[in-house]
């Protein structure tokens, strides 16, 4: 049967299991929006395309499915760019669909024409320019396959307006034909054997658990491997939740704001088992002195990540879950008692400085608030963040025992991610409690999406950690620029009134004794809620490895006087 | 050191741009790049010569990154493989009738050809390896080169030899080179 290109698009989206899309209409995608009315897909009208992109991203991270976000040509598409780059850096499967001017106008600077496939080439896993209706079915099928398979990532489809309205025979391609795209799953046996040899020799092994563990759904395999070999597990920012924080082998987060004992363990290890992580500069510190005595085994699906930052001894290129499942039967049981004791001694020493032991001094500290939210929610909420100090404190103190509840922009570090990601996550998990931990700066970047939350009835709780500063930049200025504060002092609107104007119930909290009650009130109140916490303005995130320093050169929290 | 790669890519619009953009954003230095059709209308073939200051480590990076492009089907490194490499140059030399014989003589030695003769210039066409062409250029330079164009290098391995494939498993390739990957640690 003949259908228009726009109808074919929706036919294909429905067949991919798409239930919700986050988008914004305009001239170049009007036929798509017109056809949408006949299909069982819920459309969330966002307030800014960037918000829509982060919602699709949050939806994808929370559900494990492919998110979908749409925009019109020109400014609609360029507004998506930050969201696309955010998804790319964190390997999140999102399909972006943009309208484009008619094919015969391309290259002529037509109204709202922008070279979107050109702009997004380096920030997508793949992209398409569709000029004819009969290309759409195949392209959409491929796009979803590419987005979710291998190392996942965003795929953009730019569809010319003529292709949306032209009619063509709708043939759904049963298979995708991509001769140049065949992700690997198993690693070769001889490499596995080499890995086993290194594991046998190791006295001080450590697992570095990355986002790949979650992407590959390898949490159980990781647990089996760690327990069988009694290897402690450190996590990257994005790997949090893949291994239960409360497990005795868990070392928590590594890197720039990682735990002292965790970074020390990495630096003193004799074998690093890197699982689905990419040795980002935020987790290694300077490479010159990184884990100098450690042999390295790297299990990674993307061969271009192997040897990229850190040369490894045994690369195992493949799907993490598959490779781990192949590896587990080959390794022996160990206990590594000495090593664990050593790490524990470092931990005890570091814990004594913990801010969590501080008594109430009349001020609000973000670390305490995160601990309070963690307690109130039983550690089970989906938590999103913006980027900055509050993000690091949330990573440190919202101790996750379960996967896919921790949505934060790691690789790109995109401020304004928190609220829209939380709204997206709500569509993936409507029965779960969802908290967006926002910075006063980051919140203002995408605050307009509060109305989207209201329009959709999204049950998200926003906690704004208002330190009246671009806190993380201020901290760097304090530490590394002699406290010369430059452009970090930020006037914020009255967040309670702002929320009120959006029809969102809100409260301001300034004292520790009000905290528990406010959190409970937010949890009980249906729909979106805003809590503004007036927190200590000049607190700093500790420990901190200064950029470019060795991983064990951490600035630690000064003892309280 | 310069490495030579042969990449088979899907013959689709924009693929050259994807490859060029990749080299730029990953900071690889292209010395030459030649693209053309193959015996299979759906496949184009690129010969890329790239400066690899870190040797095989860089070569691995290049191959692995090329495979990240969905349209790239196969990548081989033929740098150390017995292979035929050719570059073609057209060189316009400013010579009047009195010096044509000299150019002719040089062309003969290099098995080059004079493909155009004008009143005060000739065009020399030379095919061969980089070295040979460089040699010819050096000798023609004193006579006055006014214009030159080169195709960039193309390469083909001899006989049944294949190049090195450092990215095992990708696109269904076998794992034979995996031990080499492990040995690459500096
Ligand atoms: C879009 C964007 N612009 C700039 C930055 C640089 N940056 C990183 S953290 C930060 C401060 C964030 O301030 P706020 O949201 O108030 O959070 P806080 O650090 O105070 O908790 C800035 C400006 C960024 N990460 N993203
Ligand atoms: Mg702030």
Looking up residue A120, the CATH number of its domain turns out to be: 3.40.50.970
Residue at A406 is within a domain? yes
Same domain for A337 and A367? no
Residue at A184 is within a domain? no
Among B57, B67, B169, the residue with its CB nearest the CB of A307 is: B57
**Contact status, residue A460 vs residue A485, Cβ threshold 8 Å:** no
Closest residue by Cα to residue A444 from A502, A386, A377: A386
Query: In this structure, what CATH number is given to the domain that contains residue A276?
Result: 3.40.50.1220
Q: Is the ipTM of this complex over 0.95?
A: no
Active site residue A161: yes
Distance A222 CA to ligand 1 centre (A): 33
CATH class name, domain B84-150: alpha beta
Residue at A55 is within a domain? yes
CATH superfamily of B2-81+162-178: ACT domain (3.30.70.260)
- What is the C-alpha separation between A459 and B11, in angstroms, rounded? 49
The answer to whether residue B169 scores a pLDDT higher than 80 is: no
Range of the domain at A31: 2-169
Interchain contact, A188 vs B169, CB within 8 Å: yes
pLDDT band at A561 (very low <50, low <70, confident <90, very high): low
Cα torsion A234, A237, A238, A243: sign: positive
pLDDT value of position A276: 98
Among A179, A191, A311, the residue with its CB nearest the CB of B178 is: A191
pLDDT value of position A34: 98
pLDDT value of position A1: 85
Same domain for A314 and A358? no
Average pLDDT of every residue of chain A: 97
Cα torsion A11, B14, A147, A119: sign: negative
In this prediction, residues A436-464 reach a mean pLDDT of 98
Distance (Å) from the alpha carbon of A29 to chain B's nearest alpha carbon: 23
Residue at A460 is within a domain? yes
Q: Residue by residue, what is the 3-state secondary structure of A489-530?
A: ECCCCCHHHHHHHCCCCEEEECCHHHHHHHHHHHHHCCCCEE
The answer to whether residue B182 scores a pLDDT higher than 60 is: no
**What is residue A113's three-state secondary structure?**
coil
pLDDT value of position A183: 87
Per the model's pLDDT, the better-predicted residue between A185 and B183 turns out to be A185
Same domain for A105 and A195? no
Residue at A144 is within a domain? yes
Distance A414 CA to ligand 1 centre (A): 8
Interchain contact, A181 vs B70, CB within 8 Å: yes
- What is the C-alpha separation between A320 and A187, in angstroms, rounded? 9
Q: Which residues pair with B89 in a beta bridge?
A: B126, B150
Interchain contact, B73 vs A314, CB within 8 Å: no
Interface residue A188 vs chain B (CB under 8 A): yes
pLDDT value of position B177: 42
In this prediction, residues A497-513 reach a mean pLDDT of 97
Same domain for A218 and A253? yes
Distance (Å) from the alpha carbon of A83 to chain B's nearest alpha carbon: 20
Distance A443 CA to ligand 1 centre (A): 10
Active site residue A49: yes
Chain A residues lying within 8 Å of B170, measured CB to CB: 182, 184, 303, 317
Same domain for A329 and A395? no
Q: Which of A58-62, A535-539, B157-161 has the lowest mean pLDDT?
A: B157-161
The answer to whether residue B172 scores a pLDDT higher than 70 is: no
Structural domain boundaries in chain B: 2-81+162-178, 84-150
Task: Give residue-wise pLDDT tens across range A308-328.
Answer: 999 999 999 999 999 999 999
Whole-angstrom CA distances from A532 to A436, A438, A442, B135, B182 are 12, 9, 13, 74, 53
Judge whether B2-81+162-178 and B84-150 match in fold.
yes
Task: Give residue-wise pLDDT tens across range A343-367.
Answer: 999 999 888 888 988 888 889 999 9
Instruction: Kindly state the tokens that stand for B108.
Output: 């003969």
In this prediction, residues A411-436 reach a mean pLDDT of 98
Q: How many domains does chain A have?
A: 3
Same domain for A337 and A358? no
Same domain for A98 and A43? yes
Whole-angstrom CA distances from A501 to A49, A280, A436 are 22, 41, 19
Interface residue B172 vs chain A (CB under 8 A): yes
CB pairs under 8 A between A and B: 84
Residue at A377 is within a domain? yes
Which one from A112, A167, A432, A553 is the annotated catalytic residue?
A112
Same domain for A338 and A359? no
Same domain for A362 and A295? no
Same domain for A225 and A370? no
Residue at A370 is within a domain? yes
Same domain for A307 and A360? no
Task: Give residue-wise pLDDT tens across range B67-118.
Answer: 999 999 999 999 999 999 999 999 999 999 999 999 999 999 999 999 999 9
pLDDT value of position B173: 53
Interface residue B181 vs chain A (CB under 8 A): yes
Active site residue A248: no
Last residue of a domain, one of A285, A317, A349: A349
**Contact status, residue A373 vs residue A436, Cβ threshold 8 Å:** no
The answer to whether residue B178 scores a pLDDT higher than 70 is: no
Same domain for A282 and A380? no
Residue at A540 is within a domain? no
Distance B113 CA to ligand 2 centre (A): 72
Task: Give residue-wise pLDDT tens across range B133-148.
Answer: 999 999 999 999 999 9
**What is residue A99's three-state secondary structure?**
strand
Name which of A89, A303, A309, A310 to mutate to probe chain B: the one with the most chain B Cβ atoms within 10 A of its Cβ.
Answer: A303
Contacts of A166 (CB under 8 A, 6+ apart): A4, A5, A132, A133
């Amino acid at each position: 049967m003949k259908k228009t290109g726009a109808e074919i698009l929706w036919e294909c989206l429905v067949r991919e299991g798409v239930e919700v899309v986050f988008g914004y209409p305009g001239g170049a995608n009007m036929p798509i929006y017109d056809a949408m009315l006949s299909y069982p897909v819920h459309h969330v009208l966002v307030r800014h395309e960037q918000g829509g992109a982060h919602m699709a991203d949050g939806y994808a991270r929370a559900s494990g499915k492919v998110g979908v976000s749409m925009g019109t040509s020109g400014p609609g598409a360029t507004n998506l760019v930050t969201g696309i780059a955010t998804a790319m850096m964190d390997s999140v499967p999102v399909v972006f669909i943009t309208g484009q001017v008619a094919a015969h106008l391309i290259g002529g600077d037509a109204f709202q024409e922008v070279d979107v496939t050109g702009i997004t080439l380096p920030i997508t896993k793949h992209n398409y320019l569709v000029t004819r209706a009969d290309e759409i079915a195949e392209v959409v099928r491929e796009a979803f396959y590419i987005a979710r398979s291998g190392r996942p990532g965003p795929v953009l489809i730019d569809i010319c307006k003529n292709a949306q309205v032209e009619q063509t025979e709708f043939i759904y391609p049963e298979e995708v034909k991509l001769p140049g795209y065949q992700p690997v799953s198993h690693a070769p046996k001889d490499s596995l054997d080499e890995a086993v040899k290194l594991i046998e020799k190791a006295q001080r092994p450590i697992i570095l658990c990355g986002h790949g563990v979650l992407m590959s759904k390898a949490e159980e395999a990781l647990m089996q491997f760690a327990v069988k070999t009694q290897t402690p597990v450190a996590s990257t920012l994005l790997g949090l939740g893949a291994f239960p924080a409360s497990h005795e082998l868990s070392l928590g987060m590594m890197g720039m704001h990682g735990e002292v004992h965790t970074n020390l363990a990495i630096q003193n290890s004799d074998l690093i088992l890197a699982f689905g992580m990419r040795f980002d500069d935020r987790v290694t510190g300077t490479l010159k002195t990184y884990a100098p005595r450690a042999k390295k085994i790297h299990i990674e699906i993307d061969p271009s990540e192997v040897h990229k930052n850190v040369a490894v001894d045994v690369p195992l290129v493949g799907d993490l879950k598959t490779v781990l499942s192949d590896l587990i039967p080959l390794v022996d049981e160990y206990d590594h008692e000495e090593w664990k004791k050593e790490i524990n001694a470092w931990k005890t020493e570091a814990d004594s400085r913990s801010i969590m032991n501080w008594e109430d001094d009349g001020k609000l500290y973000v670390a305490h608030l995160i601990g309070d939210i963690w307690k109130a929610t039983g550690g089970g909420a989906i938590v999103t963040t913006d980027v900055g100090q509050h993000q690091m404190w949330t990573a440190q103190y919202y101790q996750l025992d379960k996967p896919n509840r921790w949505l934060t922009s790691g690789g790109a570090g995109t401020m304004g991610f928190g609220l829209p990601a939380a709204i997206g996550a709500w569509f993936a998990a409507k029965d779960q409690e969802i908290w967006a931990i926002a910075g006063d700066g980051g919140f203002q970047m995408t605050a307009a999406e509060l109305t989207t939350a209201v329009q959709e009835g999204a049950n998200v709780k926003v906690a704004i950690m208002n330190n009246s500063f671009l806190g993380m930049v201020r901290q760097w200025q304090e530490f590394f620029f002699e406290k010369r504060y430059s452009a970090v002092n930020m006037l914020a609107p009255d967040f309670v009134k702002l929320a009120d104007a959006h029809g969102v119930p809100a409260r301001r909290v300034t004292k520790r004794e009000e905290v528990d009650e406010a959190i409970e009130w937010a949890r009980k109140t249906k729909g979106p809620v805003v809590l503004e916490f007036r927190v200590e303005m000049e607190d700093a995130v500790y420990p901190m490895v200064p950029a470019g320093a060795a991983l064990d050169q951490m600035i630690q929290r000064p003892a309280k006087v | 050191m310069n490495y030579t790669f042969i990449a088979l890519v899907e013959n689709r619009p924009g693929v050259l741009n994807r490859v060029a953009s990749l080299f730029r954003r990953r900071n690889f230095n292209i010395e030459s790049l030649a693209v053309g059709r193959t015996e299979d209308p759906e496949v184009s073939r690129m010969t890329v010569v790239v400066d690899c200051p870190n040797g095989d480590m860089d070569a691995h990076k290049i191959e692995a990154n090329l495979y990240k492009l969905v349209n790239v089907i196969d990548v081989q490194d033929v740098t150390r493989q017995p292979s035929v490499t050719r570059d073609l140059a057209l060189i316009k030399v400013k010579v009047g009738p009195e010096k044509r014989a000299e150019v002719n003589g040089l062309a003969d030695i290099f098995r080059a050809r004079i493909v155009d003769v004008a009143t005060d210039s000739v065009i020399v066409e030379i095919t061969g390896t980089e070295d040979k062409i460089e040699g010819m250029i050096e000798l023609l330079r004193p006579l006055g080169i006014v214009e030159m164009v080169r195709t960039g290098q193309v390469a083909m391995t001899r006989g049944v030899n294949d190049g090195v494939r450092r990215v095992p498993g990708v696109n269904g390739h076998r794992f034979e080179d995996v031990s080499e990957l492990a040995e690459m640690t500096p």
